[in-house]
Amino acid sequence: MLKSVHFAGGMRYDTPVERDDGEFAVNRFGETRKRAMLAVIPRLYRGCFSSHRAAVCGRARTVELEADHPFALEIDGEVHAARAARLEVVSRALRWCA
């Protein structure tokens, strides 16, 4: 889920985001093989993620995650172990300082 297309250095998604529309851009890579995961990295550096056959992209106001085992959930640079999470955007809740 993202509210900015940029992450991890020069990597970026090509799905549009708006800071104040109340929605996440949700990007999922439906491939779990290590080789496929490594192959998508150059695409992220070129900003062409969504055209990959295993890419699933959409938009949502709320995203719910649930797993049988704890997973790493990174939020704003902090990593937490979780089994479930509900994430939602609160439109216009933060003021941006330029």
- DSSP calls for 18-64: -TTSS-EEEEEE----HHHHHHHHHHHHHT--TTSTTEEEEEESEEE
Measured CA to CA, the distance from residue 41 to residue 66 in angstroms comes to: 26
Please name the residue that has the structure tokens 């996440």. 24
1 near 25, Cβ under 8 Å? yes
Q: What is the pLDDT along the chain (98 residues), one digit of tens a residue?
A: 566 777 777 888 898 887 777 888 888 888 788 888 888 889 999 999 999 989 999 999 899 999 999 999 887 778 999 999 998 877 666 666 65
72 near 47, Cβ under 8 Å? no
- Angle at 71 (CA atoms; ends 5, 11), nearest 5 degrees: 20
* Per-residue model confidence (pLDDT) at position 97: 60
